Structure 1
Amino acid sequence: MKLSFFTFIRGQFAKQPPVVKGDLAGKTVIVLGANTGLGFEASKHFARMNPGRLILACRNQSKGHAALDRLKSATGYGKAELWLIDLADFESVKKFADKFERDGGRLDILVENAALSTSKYEATKDGWEVSLQVSNLSTPLLAFLLLPAMIKTAEQHATVPRLVVVASEVHYWATLEKKILENPDMLKTMASAKYCTEKIMSSRYLLTKLLNIFFVRAFNDRLPSSTPLVINAINPGLCKTELSREEHGIASLFTAIFLNIFAFSAEQGSRQLVYGAVANADNPEALRGQFISACQVTEVSDFVLSHEGVKAQDQLWDELIGILGRVDSKVPAIASQYLSAQR
């Protein structure tokens, strides 16, 4: 499938379906990036479904506590918890997962709402380009480390947990150039200071969302069909959030005008996250491994489906396991225990 700019703009004026509701009684929900934007609005929707536990996973403690207060004021739900996590820091991700292993109990829904839009190269203390680490290394790392808890929940409570990864329709406009496709170290190269020129960084956000799609599809391909777990990728559409907060000057002004004309509200976009997490309760398999846009299963880009795209997806998966295995030795063990060779 291809997406023209005209089709994209037309979609931004489409009426958004109402939020899907589900029964979350006794269930545990984790939302990443929950103090603002899509994550906060999705958390409000989940709170109104009265989950047993709702964990707001945030980077900043003061902003996280403010979000808890706003959530309670808006919904009346007073059981939400603030857990700190910084996706630009592998140790922070590991500590979050370790805490959940000790204190979390069951895990029914994990919404991985992680994104960073930047046009300038910046390395984390772990040595990776920051937006790629946040969206395409730490996001999978947390998914792997919490996978045992989700599968245990499925076995003990006869339910089907959901792993929701927030992707985007902008993946239709992203591809991998030949020198990346032919490189044995794709992620390492894409994250290097030498590769991350101003031109490359101008489209980095599109790339991170393409890699989100690859991760979800590769994960699903290796998840045995008998495993009661659904992973999917969600397109919230263009929304008014703080994603472009790093822009300044003319670019910032242009973005603000564009968003005011064409963007959904954060609440409207958050409905897609909720859809991926609770829709099709009677037939969750219908959403397994799917890309969801406008509350319906949608075909991914032609590049993702192409021979070179499938080959890149498999290579990226193998490289990802190797990288994350060096971050935490649990990752390859978890992949070996719960995931299989490609179906």
Structure 2
Amino acid sequence: MSTFPSPGTQFCERQAGLPAGLSLSSKVAIITGSNAGLGFESAKQLLALNLSHLILAVRSVEKGEAAAAKLRQSTPKATIEVWKLDMCSYVSIQAFAERVGKELTRLDIALLNAGLVKPSFELVKETGHEESMQVNYLSTVLLALLLLPHLQTKRAPTTSPGKLTIVNSGLSLTGKLPLNPKNPSQPILTSFDDAKTFSSTTWYNTSKTLMHLFLWKLTEFVSADDVVVNIVDPGYVKGTESVSNMPKVTALVAKGFAAVTGRSVETGASTYVDAVAVKGRESHGCFLTSWRVHPFVPFLYTPEGKELMERLWEETMAELAFAGPNEILSSQSKG
């Protein structure tokens, strides 16, 4: 997903280079939403670093195979597979994770890039939740939790931890929870499911904000020695598909902004590569933007923010209880 810039970074930061001799030879990676845009470009860049095995996790297998064919032309020695993954379906996500467990003997990198901007309110039939919040937060959290054990146990038998990177947005820093001030104790997750209060911009921003809260809490259970987990903002990137899903006025503003300041897809994708292949334990539990660690959404540093984080965590664990998230986390080593 392309995003507007984080404050002060889009205009002054230069692309970080790669360490000399960096190689992903023998490593296995999964990239979601990888048939086009930033996902596809990050696949190209990881393969250029000699990545041995790549799984393109996509909703449309047909589009995924077309993308894979292009990648195979430039990197014929790599193994490139296309696996079905529908981020609007818990069943599909569970089936995907089960396939990882059965078919992959190794997994080093998971780059969760799939996300969306919705111009209008729509509920996911299977879950009953608003679609952008479903995909950008709940489904991404489920997939992350299900992949954690594989990233811990299927990684190379060395001191190198697995890498789990979730694509985020600079707009997450402006997110506000849609809670009714007259009823501040209302459930956080269901507050997004009201068509009367829906705002395409606000819902997208806040769906990304929720991931800040989740990541902060997640690091209480996951050791950087096992799996390094971080979130990354690619900055505002021109030439991606997300603008077509924005409301018309917002899309016009976005296109104008992109014409002046937008990063290229290649530059945006380089932030992903930096997060999964360059950054190490120092990035565990961090929000990365413009190739650097950046503070989380400001309210998270307040007592009220910490309370919201705990509430969101409890609600998320309850929502995903069918997949046993607490059991998964209790099995994770903390050193």
| Worse-superposed segment, 150-159 or 65-74 | 150-159
- 2:231 touches 2:286 (CA, 8 Å); kept in 1? yes
Q: Which amino acid aligns with 2:44?
A: K
Aligned positions of 1:174-189 closer than 5 A:
174-176=175-177, 179=180, 182-189=184-191
Check if 1:303 corresponds to 2:299. yes
Check if 1:338 corresponds to 2:327. no
Aligned positions of 1:42-81 closer than 5 A:
42-81=42-81
SS at match of 1:276: helix
Aligned positions of 1:129-168 closer than 5 A:
129-154=130-155, 156-168=157-169
1:218-250 CA distances to partner (integer Å, 9 max, x unpaired)? 11132246x421101111001121112224655
Q: Which amino acid aligns with 1:208?
A: S
Q: Which amino acid aligns with 1:298?
A: H
Deviation at residue 331 of structure 1 after TM alignment: 2.4
- 1:12 touches 1:238 (CA, 8 Å); kept in 2? no
- 2:179 touches 2:188 (CA, 8 Å); kept in 1? no
Deviation at residue 264 of structure 1 after TM alignment: 0.7
Deviation at residue 74 of structure 1 after TM alignment: 4.0
Q: Which amino acid aligns with 1:214?
A: L
Number of equivalences: 328
Check if 1:128 corresponds to 2:112. no
Match of 1:324 among 320, 326, 332: 320
Q: Equivalents in 2 of 1:112, 1:324: separation in Å?
A: 18
| Worse-superposed segment, 145-154 or 172-181 | 172-181
Cα gap change, 1:7/1:170 in structure 2, threshold over 3 Å: closer, same or farther? closer
Q: Which residue of 1 aligns with 2:95?
A: 95
Q: Which residue of 1 aligns with 2:262?
A: 263
Cα gap change, 1:6/1:334 in structure 2, threshold over 3 Å: closer, same or farther? closer
Deviation at residue 16 of structure 1 after TM alignment: 2.1
Q: Equivalents in 1 of 2:248, 2:5: separation in Å?
A: 27
Q: Which amino acid aligns with 2:268?
A: G
**Sequence identity (%):** 28
- 2:137 touches 2:207 (CA, 8 Å); kept in 1? yes
- 1:106 touches 1:153 (CA, 8 Å); kept in 2? yes
Q: Which amino acid aligns with 2:331?
A: Q
- 2:51 touches 2:78 (CA, 8 Å); kept in 1? no
Q: Which amino acid aligns with 2:194?
A: A
- 2:179 touches 2:186 (CA, 8 Å); kept in 1? no
Deviation at residue 157 of structure 1 after TM alignment: 4.3
Cα gap change, 1:297/1:118 in structure 2, threshold over 3 Å: closer, same or farther? same
Q: Equivalents in 1 of 2:299, 2:41: separation in Å?
A: 32
The alignment's TM-score, normalised by the length of structure 1, stands at: 0.87
How much is the aligned-residue C-alpha RMSD, in angstroms? 2.5
Aligned positions of 1:194-205 closer than 5 A:
194=195, 197-198=197-198, 200-205=199-204
Deviation at residue 75 of structure 1 after TM alignment: 4.3
SS at match of 1:57: strand
Match of 1:286 among 271, 282, 286: 282
Deviation at residue 50 of structure 1 after TM alignment: 1.8
Deviation at residue 117 of structure 1 after TM alignment: 0.7
- 2:5 touches 2:171 (CA, 8 Å); kept in 1? no
SS at match of 1:245: helix
SS at match of 2:38: helix
Deviation at residue 25 of structure 1 after TM alignment: 1.6
Bigger helix fraction: 1
Q: Equivalents in 2 of 1:179, 1:234: separation in Å?
A: 30
Cα gap change, 1:51/1:320 in structure 2, threshold over 3 Å: closer, same or farther? same
Q: Equivalents in 2 of 1:6, 1:106: separation in Å?
A: 35
Deviation at residue 155 of structure 1 after TM alignment: 7.7
Q: Equivalents in 1 of 2:5, 2:51: separation in Å?
A: 40
Cα gap change, 1:292/1:28 in structure 2, threshold over 3 Å: closer, same or farther? same
SS at match of 1:11: coil
Deviation at residue 176 of structure 1 after TM alignment: 2.5
Q: Which amino acid aligns with 2:162?
A: P
